[in-house]
Amino acid sequence: MRKKSDQLQGALDLLVLKTLEEGPMHGWGITLHIERTSDALLRVEEGSLYPALHRMEKDGWIDAAWGVSENNRRARFYRLTPKGRRQLAAERQNWERVTGAVAMVLNFGTGTN
Amino acid sequence: MRWFRRLFLTFRMKGHQREMEEEIRFHLAMREQRNLDEGIPGDEARRRARIRFGNPVVWMETMSEIDIHIHLRSAIEDLRFGFRQLVRNPIFAVTGVLTLALGIGINTTIFTVADSVLLKPLPWPGADRMVAIYERMPKFGVMNDSWPDYVDWRSQNSVFANMAALQPSSSTVNLRGEDQQVPSVAVTNSFFDVFGVSPILGRAFTSQEAIPGSGLTAVVSYAFWRQFLGAEPSAVGRSIEVDGQAATVVGVLPPGFSIPYGRFEIYLPFGVKTHNPEVADRANHPGLGVVALLRPGVTLAAARTNMAGIMKRLSRSYTQSNRGETVVLTPLRDQFVGGARNILFLLLSATGLVLILACANIANMSLARAAARRREFAVRLSLGASRSRLFRQALIENLPLALLGGASGIGLAALIVHPLVHFYPHRILGLEDARLNAVVFCFAAAVCVTSWLLFGIVPAFAASRRTDAYTSIRTTAPDTHISGHTRLRSSLLVAEIAIALVVTVSTMLVLRSLLAVTRTNPGFRADHLLVLESIHAGSSRGQSAGTIEFFRELLSRLRHLPGVKSASAAMELPLRGVIWTSPYVPDGHPQPPNTQQPWTEINFVMPGYFQTMEMRRLGGRFFSEADSNSAPMAVINETMARSIGVANPVGGQLYVAYAPHATMQIIGVVSDEKQFGLDKHDMPEVYIPATQSPVPVMDIVLRTSSPPEFLANAARLTVHDFAKSRSAPRAVPMEMFLDSNLADRKFVSLLLGLFDVLAVTLALVGVAGVVGYMVEQRTHEIGIRMALGASRTHVMNMILLGQCAKFACLGVAVGIGCAFALTRLLASQLYGVQPSDPLTFVAASIGLMVVTLLASYFPARRATMVDPVVALRCE
């Protein structure tokens, strides 16, 4: 089985979970939200987003249900579960530790010189 | 993994697919709308949306991959949970693994033997196309083949690629100045081609050797070459003395070559015998066996038709010798494995039933555990776990048990196959090569998976059943009504009792057959009888006079041994088959041999034989020393006396075509002796005095006053001293032949008995377990009853008679039905008892009822020990 880098996947998971913390949202909405809030710096690939949603649903981090979108179309809405909320907290902490560590490494040269 | 994913996609994705497609459509529409909003024209907006999205098929596959991953992960988690459960419940684990190991072990063991005997290819290149051919006489049954018939089959058939005839016998070989009896076989030149063997040294027979009168040659076995010819290559060309004739060794066969007809050391060309009048006589059957190799693509049925046509023509052309004669074609394996197939089938069925019992017991135990976890499952169901998820979990949790049980079972089989094979009393083709191999492992794995499903599926169903979560969660006490679990367990109980009954009935039938055979009167007194095997008068002394003097003198010496009451000799002792048969005419009118005539065994005995054997005289007189110069005479057995049909056959004439003197006067009638085996029918037999027609090789019997073993040595020494250069003969108590005659049945009975003990034990453990569970369920109710004044006896009766007896009856009833249908398959193994023998059925039923009630007694007693106060308070 192919396996993607856990780090990148972890990042996407984190972004999706964080987005859903705002409230239930469909896949398109998640794409849009991440693009907007990152000033279009982060572009979510649909080819990664939907499998990720599927996996997180199976893992029980998020729930899915059919609902009606803003423009009156049937859309699948994803919602954070309590388990997902805990997962978000954990991933967020992890992410911050990792980025912090990366920053420390990057700053090491500049700091001592 | 790719094929797996495809498979998975096809099976699982059907339902999700539509949802996914809709989600994709929504996403695309939104993206298109956004593109339009940004001023991109219609078609281009749609195209860009699609490009941006990428190939939906690819990520749908990715999703299914995720699903597989999740399934596998959860399966591994369940598996680990299963292992932890086992570790936490060591009693359950040990009982379960042991039970399963026994069940799988005995199945694998018996299958290993079956694989070797019935499935593994035979060691000759064309073995699957080899057919043994025998003739069937209209008034006698299956018989060995006639040489002229063989010659005609060979030239007229259109179905066989090759055909060979062989005549097993025994030859006296002079080695280093000493005579040695060696199993030998005369074969046609085609023999070596049919069996696909060529000598490792020298050559096989050529057409030269088929010409009578040419010098005798011999091909020898590897073992013979090593043992007697010094394993020297120069042995080829050397001359050895075979039956008083010089024979040149022309070839040595490869090591390990053997044929199912026997272990032969010397192969002689049959060609030299073909002009022998006995062999050339079409009516004579000189002990020939025929093996033919089917042409590739020709079926056995086609070969049978072809051969039947030839026999019909022969039957018309040679009415005297062949009228009504047919052929029997049997694949070589069937010919030599024969009865073992039935025995193995019987044993495999028994072990299969034991395994089912083992599985039922484990299912029962798992159910008890599942009952304890019912609340856990109910909670999980109500929290949204799917039923299929719970089903899967319960099933996978049982897998560790199946794996451990299977592995131990295979280990057990590896340990017991070897002793079992050596314990088996007789030689069966392929038996000694029984080993655990790939086929056996596949079988064991299949058995393991099957039993896993058998004992795993019941608790899995129980776990995933839709229950009323509300009450299940709320109730703290076990429910008092008969729950679904209890129903499931009681049906298991009924099935267990039924299976135990089937095994018990079969075992009892086989045991009763063994008893019946043991009780069969062999026709002589077998105790205090010593046999000295194959005593040769010596071919060099010439026939008749010398031979008879030899035996007379030797017998008189033996009679003088202390402890010997009497001594005599015969060509064919009972229980050992016969080598000489002939058509006969009861009224004594000479007639050429005719297939419509009845056949008789011919035996040659010294005076005093019947007395030594203590056979009963039914009329006339027995032979005496004075008979040697009288007119030809015979003593007949009871069966022949009956077939003659005269009130008193003594004094009448008898015509036996192949006897040395065909016309004889009947001087006496003697009781039947079992010539072939205790469980075989008696045949007509005619006894001819060896003093009138001497035979060179006879078995000597001694009636002893002390145990025959005590005399063995003295008797052997006497023979050795008397016969000078010969080695001492084998001395065997007659009772050993009786034992060996029973050995097959004893072996099967013992194994079946063991399996039955296992089956009944497993069933009883199951009964005790289920009753214990039921009693526990009713603790509360029993408490109330006792508080209201019910006596212990009353409660006991309620449980034992009200519940247990009901199940026992039901189980026995179902078991009787099944046994009735199944035991008729046993018919070929039975002797002196019918497959539906009422006594056996009744005895087994009552016995099983009694032990079932006994097994339920102890758990039931515990119920009556309940203190009403405690029972009521336990909620």
Pick from B133-137, B234-238, B772-776, B814-818: least confident: B772-776
pLDDT higher than threshold 50 for residue B541: no
The arithmetic mean of pLDDT across residues A61-80, rounded, is 87
Mean pLDDT (whole number) for B197-223: 86
Nearest by Cα to A24 from A86, A88, A69: A69
* Whether ipTM exceeds 0.90: no
Identify the CA nearest to B565 among candidates B529, B527, B534, B610.
B529
Q: What are the DSSP calls for B107-147, one per residue? A: HHHHHHHHIIIIISPPSSTTGGGEEEEEEEETTTEEE-B-H
Cα gap B548→B559, rounded to integer Å: 16
Whether residue B773 is predicted with pLDDT greater than 70 in this model: the reply is yes
SS3 B199: coil
CA end-to-end distance (rounded Å), chain A = 46
Residue B793, both tokens? 């006896």
Please indicate, yes or no, if residue A42 is contained in any of the structural domains: yes
Cα gap B338→B341, rounded to integer Å: 6
Query: Could you tell me the pLDDT band of residue B43, with boundaries at 50, 70 and 90?
Result: confident
Mean pLDDT over B8-25 rounds to 66
pLDDT in tens, B417-457: 888 888 877 777 778 788 888 999 999 999 999 988 888 88
pLDDT digits (tens, 9 = 90+) for B178-191: 777 789 999 999 99
pLDDT of residue A60: 86
Query: What's the domain count of chain A?
Result: 1
Question: B292: which strand partners?
Answer: B131, B163
Query: A113 in a domain, yes or no?
Result: no
Residue A20 located in a structural domain: yes
Taking the C-alpha atoms of residue B554 and residue B567, their distance in angstroms, rounded to an integer, is 10
Are A55 and B23 a contacting pair at CB < 8 A?
no
Cβ within 8 Å, pair B23-A73: no
- The reported pLDDT for the residue numbered B338 is 74
At B607 the pLDDT is 94
Q: Do B26 and A50 touch (CB under 8 A)?
A: no
B781-840 residue pLDDT tens: 888 888 888 888 888 888 887 778 888 899 999 999 999 988 888 888 888 899 989 999
- What is the pLDDT at residue B109? 92
Q: Which residues of B touch A73 (CB under 8 A)?
A: 26, 29
Range from B204-208, B235-239, B245-249 carrying the lowest mean pLDDT: B204-208
- A34 occurs within a structural domain: yes
Give yes or no for residue B8 having a pLDDT over 60: no
A2 in any annotated domain: no
Q: Mean pLDDT across the stretch B128-151?
A: 91
The pLDDT of B133-151, averaged and rounded, is 90
- Position A18 in a domain: yes
Residue range A61-72: mean pLDDT, rounded: 86
Q: Is B166 helix (H, G, I), strand (E, B) or coil?
A: strand
Q: How far apart are CA B33 and CA B412, in angstroms?
A: 71
Above 70 in pLDDT, residue B3?
no
Chain A residue at shortest CA distance from B19: A76
Looking at chain B, the whole-number percentage of residues with pLDDT higher than 70 is 93
**Residue A50: what pLDDT?**
86
Contact assignment for B66 to A46 by CB distance below 8 Å: no
Is the Cβ of B66 closer than 8 Å to some Cβ of chain A? yes
Distance from CA of B393 to the nearest CA of A (A): 16
Tell me which chain A residues have a C-beta less than 8 angstroms from the C-beta of B28.
Answer: none
Find the domain containing A85 and state its range: 8-108
Task: Answer yes or no: do A69 and B26 touch at CB < 8 A.
Answer: yes
Range scoring the smallest mean pLDDT among B386-395, B454-463, B467-476: B467-476
| Closest residue in chain A to residue B53, using alpha carbons only | A46
pLDDT in tens, B488-516: 778 888 999 999 999 999 999 999 999 99
* Mean of all residue pLDDT scores within chain B: 85
Contact: B65, A1; criterion CB under 8 Å: yes
In Å, how far is B63's CA from the nearest CA of chain A?
A: 5
Provide, as residue numbers in chain A, all residues whose Cβ is less than 8 Å from the Cβ of B31. 28
Partner-chain contact B53 A74, CB within 8 Å = no
CATH number at residue A65: 1.10.10.10
Residues of A in contact with B27 (CB under 8 A): 27-28, 31, 46
**Do B387 and B466 touch, CB atoms closer than 8 A?**
yes
Alpha-carbon gap: A101 to the closest alpha carbon of chain B (Å)? 31
Q: With the CA atoms of B241, B246, B251 and B256 taken in that order, what torsion angle do they form, in degrees rounded to the nearest 10?
A: -20
Q: What is the pLDDT of residue B472?
A: 53
Handedness of CA B48, B52, B53, B59 (dihedral sign): positive
pLDDT reported for residue A113: 42
Residue of B27, B7, B21, B25 whose CA lies nearest to B67: B7
User: What mean pLDDT is predicted for residues B369-385?
Assistant: 72
- Residue B112's pLDDT band, with cuts at 50, 70 and 90, is very high
* Residue partners of B224: CB distance under 8 A and separation at least 6: B182, B265, B266
The confidence score (pLDDT) of residue B82 equals 81
Could you tell me if residue A28 is inside a domain?
yes
* Residue B780 pLDDT exceeds 70: yes
Whether pLDDT at B196 is above 90 = yes
Q: Is the pLDDT of residue A101 over 80?
A: yes
Alpha-carbon span B770 to B856, nearest angstrom:
9
Task: Tell which of A12, A58, A66 to mutate to test the B interface (max B CBs under 10 Å).
Answer: A58
What pLDDT sits at residue B841? Answer: 94
Model pLDDT, residue B818? 92
Which of A49, A50, A61 to mutate to probe the B interface, most B CBs <10 Å? Answer: A50
Contact pairs from chain A to chain B, CB under 8 Å:
60
Q: Are strands B266-269 and B178-187 parallel, antiparallel or unpaired?
A: parallel
B138 has pLDDT over 80:
yes
**In-domain check, residue A60:** yes
* Predicted local confidence at residue B858, as pLDDT: 84
Least confident of B42-51, B205-214, B600-609, B637-646: B205-214
**Of B545 and B586, more confident:** B586
pLDDT at B555: 94
B591-622 pLDDT, tens digit per residue, is 887 878 888 999 999 999 999 999 999 999 99
Q: Is A4 on the interface with B (CB under 8 A)?
A: no
Answer whether residue B482 shows pLDDT above 50. no
Distance (Å, rounded) from C-alpha B149 to C-alpha B137?
13
Closest CA to B405 of B108, B112, B110, B103: B103
pLDDT greater at residue B482 or residue B704: B704
Q: Hey, are the CB atoms on B68 and A1 less than 8 Å from each other? A: yes
Closest-CA distance of chain A to residue B1, Å:
7
